[in-house]
Amino acid sequence: MIKVKPLSYKICFLIVALVCSSLVQAQSKKQLELEAKREKLSMEIRQINTLLSQGKQEQKSVVSTIEDLDYKVSVRQNLIKITNQQANLLTREINNNQKNISNLRNNLKILKKEYAAMVVKSYKNRSEESKVMFLLSSNNFQQAYKRLQYIKQYANYQKKQGDEIKLQTIKLQELNSDLLVQKKDKQQLVEDNRIAKGELNKELKQHELLMASIKKDLKKHTAQIRTRQRAAEKIDREIAKIIRDAIASSNKKAGKATSSGTFALTSEGRILAANFASNKGKLPWPVQRGKVKVRFGTRRSPIDKNIPIKSNGVRIETNKGEKVRAVFQGTVLQIMTPKNGNNAIFIQHGNYITVYKNLSKIYVKLGDKVSSKEEIGEVLTNKAFGGTVLQFVIFKESKPQNPALWIHNM
């Protein structure tokens, strides 16, 4: 009787193949995520370069220039970090591919050896007479039936072995092709990082030279920063008062205590607030193009580490003459037009309020209903400090929120 060899090694190989496949899929997903981050950072650097170029034409102050450069350096360092992660992940993928290729080659050798042995045995037992004698020598009908089934199974198994060899050969060719692509991609990443590190060294040198010039007249630059910070704090106090007054007014109309810290909302207002909240992380940017120059929270000034810079929202540097857009549907609650020209628009979305500061032009009026992405004004270009910066704040009642958690990809 012809015996089929055990297939335990094939089961082991199948398990290894499945594990490797899952690992490759996970790594590929991670690689795509890293590539998306890298592309976003590269785009941000291109945008920074454009804005810095415009800044030269607008004759930015040294303080604004150092802030821009400080931010650009941080983005560049992050880009290099992400590229390193990509290269390391690609190295692991290349190593895994090389192991898989080695395993496949070994498996193919075993398969071909087994297949050759089967062909020899099939050749020796090729005559119909030997198969008939094999069946007729059975002790009973049941044994004859089992032998007939065995002959069929063996023929099927032989065919599957041949198909498996073809399949594994194709897989091996694909892995070899993937390996060549991966090695090429890694070389490109290494080259990209080499260029990025060269640019970073130039920027750090430029940063060092600027800081050296600033230190020669540190008191003057520190005074500039403090003046800007005091002006920002004054506007923040005015904004806080406007929101408190709006909350008190809504409660007065509803016949409730004006001291309440929350809006008395109508049913329509509650629906609008719920819709606004459900879009957290998905709201559009208040400008079509721009970069976040100052983030939410408190940080130290890059000029003088002793000066804390507090921001209730974000400051977005954008192009000269850039249009400002409402991030969600709502009603114009207030328009602030102080003497310094730093105009602001307040839009109410139920118990949420978005504030758009530092505008040169205003396209809406008090009480207007606005829709998402509707243009409501134009960003002011500051002649004293240079730069076109929108200050954007989100409030829930009177509490400022971090816009990065609300705006898509901020």
- Mind listing the pLDDT tens digit for each residue in 297-318? 998 887 878 888 889 999 999 9
Q: What is the pLDDT of residue 373?
A: 97
Residue 238, in any domain of the structure: no
Checking if the pLDDT of 258 tops 60, the result is yes
The 10 Å Cβ neighbour count of residue 337 is 12
Residue 231, in any domain of the structure: no
193 and 70 together in one domain: yes
Q: What is the pLDDT of residue 6?
A: 45
What are the start-end ranges of the H helices in 217-293?
Answer: 218-253, 267-278
Checking if the pLDDT of 2 tops 50, the result is no
Residue 125, in any domain of the structure: yes
pLDDT tens, residue by residue, 208-219: 888 888 888 888
pLDDT tens, residue by residue, 15-59: 555 555 555 566 678 888 888 888 888 888 887 777 666 655 555
186 and 279 together in one domain: no
180 and 280 together in one domain: no
b/e sequence 113-134, b meaning 16+ C-beta within 10 Å = ebeeebeeeeeeeeeeeeeeeb
| Contact indicator for 361, 345 with CB cutoff of 8 Å | no
30 and 117 together in one domain: yes
58 and 162 together in one domain: yes
Q: In the listed set 216, 231, 249, which residue is the last one of a domain according to the structure?
A: 216
Global pTM reads 0.64
20 and 168 together in one domain: yes
Q: Which two tokens stand for residue 43?
A: 């785009």
Mean pLDDT confidence for 275-295: 94
Give the domain extent around 167. 8-216
310 and 173 together in one domain: no
Q: Which two tokens stand for residue 338?
A: 């102080």
Residue 229, in any domain of the structure: no
Residue 28: φ, ψ to 5°: -65, -40
Three-state DSSP state, 32: helix
Q: What is the pLDDT of residue 344?
A: 96
Checking if the pLDDT of 4 tops 60, the result is no
395 and 282 together in one domain: yes
**Backbone dihedral region of 401: left (phi > 0), alpha (psi from -120 to 50 degrees) or beta?**
beta
207 and 294 together in one domain: no
300 and 381 together in one domain: yes
271 and 208 together in one domain: no
Mean pLDDT confidence for 67-94: 86
Residue 227, in any domain of the structure: no
Residue 38, in any domain of the structure: yes
Residue 228, in any domain of the structure: no
pLDDT tens, residue by residue, 103-153: 777 777 776 777 677 666 655 555 555 556 555 676 777 777 676 676 667
Q: In the listed set 216, 251, 281, which residue is the last one of a domain according to the structure?
A: 216
Q: What is the pLDDT of residue 385?
A: 63
Out of 73-82, 141-150, 333-342, pick the least confident: 141-150
* Domain CATH code at residue 272: 2.70.70.10
198 and 288 together in one domain: no
Residue 357, in any domain of the structure: yes
How many separate domains does the chain show? 2
Reported as a pLDDT band with limits 50, 70 and 90, residue 3 is very low
pLDDT tens, residue by residue, 368-382: 999 999 999 999 988
